[in-house]
Structure 1
Amino acid sequence: MTNLKTVILALSIYFTCFAASGQDSLINRVINDLNEPVLSGEVLNYFFQASGSQYFIDGWTKGDIYLESGDVTRDRLLQYNGYRDQLYWLNPSSGDIVILDKHLVSGFTLAMPLSADTATFRKVSADLNGIRDPDGVFVQVLVDDAYSLLVLRRIVNTGERNIMQGERMVTLPVLEPRPVYIIRSPGNNYQSLQRLRRRNFINLFPGQQDDLRRELIRERNRVRSENQLVEAVKTLNTL
């Protein structure tokens, strides 16, 4: 009842402003805000200093958030923290950085800077190379087909580094990307690929090894990079 009174009061105030100013756009903004799904999470009140970035993309980028309820909220300023596997939202009304509740989020997109590409992430609950979370983990979808290619954009602590800050020496953890590539086969079976090699990739599919090897050799695809892995999975889907 309290929420309903709040909504009615907000509408009354804005409609009064509208009557005084005659600005249709003001009413449209109010209605759009009221229709937006509610996002919940914890305000980020600590900052982790390190050598190297925690983030998939440095800086805020626009994206859409897909909720477990089926609702979608669009054009939010987002950051994905690969070190903590957390999605951050910049609340425009307060300026707070919010760690979104993972159990409420089913996926999200991020606009890639300096290109027209969009990175799509989904939450999966599989045990990925020993990485578990009761609320699932976020993975980027590189190929979405019968055989899908997913990547856990993991960032790990690889050691320490001493650096000068002003007049004192400080020791910082060194963060580096360590992506984990996952193949999702028909029947929702997940297999991880530790090292990018053609042989390692072919060995994941014992029933199709001969055909897959022949096609990859014909395409001169050695599966040594992420782009080559994407093409290899696309080839697998044609067999």
Structure 2
Amino acid sequence: MMEYSNKYRNSTRQSIQKVVMTLGAVLVLSLVALAQEKEFVPEIELTTASNTTNYKLPGKQFYPTYVPRGSEFYNDEWTTGSVILENGDVYKNLYLKYNTLHDELIYLNQNTNTIISIDKDAVSEFVFDKTIKSSPRFKKMFFDRLPKGDRYFEMLYEGRLQLVIHNRTLEEKTSAYKDRNGYLQVSDFVLRRHHYVCFPDGDFEKVKLRRRSLLTLFPEKKKEIRKLLRQNKNSFRTNDDAVQAIRLIEENYYSE
């Protein structure tokens, strides 16, 4: 009888151990699955223009900078737009912001209420569905000035010559003031917009919206271009003037 009881207890103990091990394995698999579900995977359908079917929009979670006065964004409100990737995939109807403090494209995932900074290496260009300042289209281009690297540029004109705007938010010193939380601050966040002409060889030259500034970029054709602008009553003082001027210079001196 004693031997039977021992066998029964051993058998019961082994059964319990098997159940515990099984439950443990199930728990581990569940945790792994949960971790995979928490990995950022935007639920966005690729358009018909896309050339892949399972590509994930890459990025990392974005954490805003505390800005006492001013803004770190080109557009403070979420604006719908499209993102074109380097591999040709197109994502439409995304809620976007352009962070001009860090030169990052920010995306709001409405399904998870998560804010994502899209990997710049994967982005070719992005287009807002409406014009916010000068142009709705932004293109990633290699900037040959220090610090060298890829930058997003607001595209005003694109041909053999290109007219672009580089938007950059700077933290600038100012007289002391109290912010909205009552803390003493000595700086503002200010958006600075600089125009550049990009030449066919990829060289960027900064230009101000003044005729004299433009002419210095073309020393060998200075007189001819001055005459060309006068004939077309172009004072080179607005973005529209600048676009027309670059188009005229391209047609007359940079034709293929």
TM-score bin, normalised by smaller chain: 0.7 to 0.9
Choose the corresponding residue for 2:123, options 76, 82, 105. 105
Choose the corresponding residue for 2:159, options 145, 152, 156. 145
Task: Provide closer, same or farther for how the CA distance between residues 158 and 225 of structure 1 changes in structure 2, counting only shifts above 3 A.
Answer: farther
Aligned pairs (5 A) from 1:35-184? 35=53, 37-112=55-130, 119-128=136-145, 130-133=146-149, 136-160=150-174, 161-165=176-180, 168-171=182-185, 173-184=187-198
Residue matched to 1:205: 218
The residue type paired with residue 95 of structure 2 is L
Choose the corresponding residue for 1:190, options 193, 200, 204. 204
Task: Provide closer, same or farther for how the CA distance between residues 67 and 215 of structure 1 changes in structure 2, counting only shifts above 3 A.
Answer: same
Tell me how far 1:32 sits from its aligned partner: 6.0
Task: Provide closer, same or farther for how the CA distance between residues 206 and 140 of structure 1 changes in structure 2, counting only shifts above 3 A.
Answer: same
Cα distance between partner residues in 1 of 2:63 and 2:243: 38
TM-score, normalised to structure 2, is: 0.71
Task: Provide closer, same or farther for how the CA distance between residues 91 and 175 of structure 1 changes in structure 2, counting only shifts above 3 A.
Answer: same
Unaligned runs of 5+ in 1: 1-5, 7-28
Tell me how far 1:212 sits from its aligned partner: 1.0
Asked if the contact 1:141–1:151 (Cα under 8 Å) also holds between the matched residues in 2, the reply is: yes
Cα distance between partner residues in 2 of 1:51 and 1:108: 27
Cα distance between partner residues in 2 of 1:126 and 1:176: 22
User: Which protein is bigger by CA-based radius of gyration?
Assistant: 2
Aligned pairs (5 A) from 1:7-26? none
Task: Provide closer, same or farther for how the CA distance between residues 230 and 31 of structure 1 changes in structure 2, counting only shifts above 3 A.
Answer: closer
Asked if the contact 1:147–1:183 (Cα under 8 Å) also holds between the matched residues in 2, the reply is: yes
Task: Provide closer, same or farther for how the CA distance between residues 125 and 63 of structure 1 changes in structure 2, counting only shifts above 3 A.
Answer: same
Cα distance between partner residues in 1 of 2:232 and 2:251: 13
Asked if the contact 1:49–1:172 (Cα under 8 Å) also holds between the matched residues in 2, the reply is: no
SS in 1 for 2:143: coil
Cα distance between partner residues in 2 of 1:31 and 1:85: 26
Cα distance between partner residues in 1 of 2:147 and 2:66: 22
Task: Provide closer, same or farther for how the CA distance between residues 114 and 44 of structure 1 changes in structure 2, counting only shifts above 3 A.
Answer: closer
SS in 1 for 2:124: strand
Tell me how far 1:147 sits from its aligned partner: 1.1
Q: Deviations over 1:189-211 (max 9, x none)?
A: 32222x32211101101232222
Asked if the contact 1:61–1:113 (Cα under 8 Å) also holds between the matched residues in 2, the reply is: no
Total equivalences in the alignment: 206
Cα distance between partner residues in 1 of 2:144 and 2:45: 42
The Cα RMSD (Å) is 2.8
Tell me how far 1:164 sits from its aligned partner: 4.6
Task: Provide closer, same or farther for how the CA distance between residues 222 and 114 of structure 1 changes in structure 2, counting only shifts above 3 A.
Answer: closer
Identical columns (%): 23
Q: Deviations over 1:50-107 (max 9, x none)?
A: 3112222221111111112221111111000112101000012111110111111111
Task: Provide closer, same or farther for how the CA distance between residues 50 and 218 of structure 1 changes in structure 2, counting only shifts above 3 A.
Answer: farther
Asked if the contact 2:65–2:72 (Cα under 8 Å) also holds between the matched residues in 1, the reply is: no
The residue type paired with residue 236 of structure 1 is I
Asked if the contact 2:46–2:91 (Cα under 8 Å) also holds between the matched residues in 1, the reply is: no
Asked if the contact 1:79–1:87 (Cα under 8 Å) also holds between the matched residues in 2, the reply is: yes
Cα distance between partner residues in 2 of 1:132 and 1:109: 24
